[in-house]
Amino acid sequence: MRAILDASVLVSAVLSKTGAPARLVEFWLAGAFELVVSEALLSEVERALEYPKVRERIEPADASELVRLVREIAHVIPDPEAPPPVRSPDERDDYLVALAAAEDVRLVTGDAHLLGLGDRLPILTPRAFLDQLEA
């Protein structure tokens, strides 16, 4: 099974040790699914980790190490040039939709705009994806 965890999921995974995102990272490292990322997604994770309220909780060196880990262990694919099959209300989400569609994988997110597309594409919350893995 392959899946994209967007920046909101990857960042929240290291802000809470008890939540579904953290469990998903454990499942990923244990080989329960393959994490798919792109350079645009990795850049978004880097920027989110630099957000001041996040930076208060995560040291820059640890943030860099986290991004290195994801880049090294995840499956990094080129960002698709094709447009997304469905547009998000926030156009800045579109690259994630295009990526998920191009790779035919689940997109796991905490973003309400993206989750609103869940009736047309396999876009789900961290908790819902965790439930699938544990089923």
Instruction: Assess 24 for contact with another protein (CB under 8 A).
Output: no
Cβ atoms 33, 23 nearer than 8 A? no
Nearest in space to 11 (alpha carbons), one of 84, 112, 108: 108
Closer of 70 and 101 to another protein (Cβ): 70
Interface with another protein, residue 29, by CB under 8 A: yes
What tokens were used for 109? 């997110």
Can residue 111 be called a binding residue for another protein (CB under 8 A)? yes
β-partners of residue 77 are 38
Nearest CB to another protein, comparing residues 56 and 104 = 56
Element at 77 (helix H, strand E): strand 75-77
- Token output for 70: 């994801």
Among 12, 27, 88, 102, binds another protein (CB under 8 A): 12
Provide the sign of the torsion angle of the four alpha carbons 92, 39, 79, 10, taken in this order. Answer: negative
Would you count residue 38 as binding another protein (CB under 8 A)? no
Please give the residue ranges that form the binding site for another protein (CB under 8 A): 6-22, 25, 29, 44, 47-51, 53-54, 57-58, 62, 65-66, 69, 73, 92, 110-112, 126
